[in-house]
Amino acid sequence: MSRPLVIVGDTLLDIDLAGRAERLSPDAPVPVVSEPVSHPRPGGAGLAALMAAHDGSEVVLVTALADDEAAGQLRSLLRGVRVVALARGGATPVKQRIRAQGQTLLRLDTGGGGDVGPMTPEAAEALRSAAAILVADYGTGTVDAPGVRDELTRLASRTPIVWDPHPRGGAPVPGVRLVTPNDKEAALFASAIDAPRAASPAAGEGHLAAARRHADVLLQHWGAHGVAVTLGARGALLSSGAGTPSVAPAPQVTCIDPCGAGDRFAVTAATSLGSGRLPGEAVQDAVEAAAAYVAAGGPASLTDSDTTAAATPHPGETERERIRREGGVIVATGGCFDLLHAGHVATLRAARRLGDHLVVCLNSDESVRRLKGPSRPLVPVEDRARVLRALEPVDEVVIFDEDTPVEVLRRIRPAVWAKGGDYAGSDVPEAPVLEEWGGQAVALPYLEGRSTTALVELALSQGRHPLQTAMTGDTR
């Protein structure tokens, strides 16, 4: 974007007190959190602004700040963000979470309340100069300050506005480009607007049908151009009130800390719209960004501070590295997987049950040709990898060009190397390299009568192309 992203809304101070809980208190059935370390960060609109700055965007935050120590701490934490402050009476809202081993045990809320002063000329100018505006209304007064909603209403027709609603906040102004409630918020808002229409019309209604129905209620009442209902691990549904809604599925990731995922979604959607992308493209961008954010550790991914929570990832580490660091078992298996059959699936399922992360070492096309002959593989490596990644037991696919997986095993360093049952009782060629780090080769149960080579030979003997036989399932 050539102009800034302007975020307007309520900022609070989030503090994680992270320690270790290894025993219960003798005077009450509660955990004792020892040696907690304080990790402060901006919350609410401030967290959204920090995310945008972390992306490298030019960011202006229009927010109400009190004259107290917490507000001063917020200003110092908002690195890379230009803060345009409205006056706030009362104390800065502060939320403290007591955490241990990556879990929140207790939250303490203080501050908030007090009147917010009117919009200043500097704030009005910031809004008018925006490439896109994100409204993060947590209901503590910034958006309802005198003049703010009026200015947002005037700008809605020419500036993309993404409105991230909150149960305690107000309704979006008419004409905003996109509203981004989660599924629970959408149901709550729709019920308050039109309870009969928001109620489920039939037992067993699916989550997408419910999200569409709630979105349409909100679209009609709020006068927005689009409503994107976020569905957590399922992605997001975008409705514009006419025709079939679009769905952006989320990539499968391990969620370490979901705090701020909605902010991450809204920030990316606003940035994408401000860069000229269409709403459907912006929602897809936002889903992918939110998934990457929670997989990287949530709020911890935005700071350089270390935490004592075991689940917090190290900067730049992969999911495999995180699992190994936390004491999990890495399992690897390998093969060509040219025509996937029931024997392959049985092997992969058995291998995955041996540990916490399964890596499939996949022969490249050149490697397969050297091993199987010039007529193989039947399926190119990109397609073979895509099919494997879609299988439930498979966590990761690594392609190698060599004739044997020895070098890729040295890079992965699995604790277990799983081979097919035909190796039971015989020496596994990769066993010596596994001894370098204490890994163990094992043979898995063999599903009799399943073989890609046999499938190919059968198809050729019947005068049919192997791919035709595989797709029809006809092995007569």
Catalytic site residues? 263
Report residue 411 as tokens: 């890079």
Residue (of 347, 357, 361) closest to 443 by Cα position: 347
Whether residue 391 contacts residue 353, with contact meaning beta carbons closer than 8 Å, is answered with no
Bridge partners of residue 83, in order along the sequence: 61
Which H or E element spans position 289? helix 279-295
Q: For 265, phi and psi rounded to 5 degrees?
A: -60, -50
CA atoms of 336 and 363, how far apart (whole Å): 5
Whether residue 50 contacts residue 41, with contact meaning beta carbons closer than 8 Å, is answered with yes
Q: 380 to each of 140, 338, 361, 363, how far by Cα in Å?
A: 57, 8, 15, 10
Question: Helix or strand or coil: residue 30?
Answer: coil
Q: 272 to each of 52, 57, 286, 289, how far by Cα in Å?
A: 11, 11, 8, 11
CA atoms in the 13 A half-sphere facing the CB of 138: 20
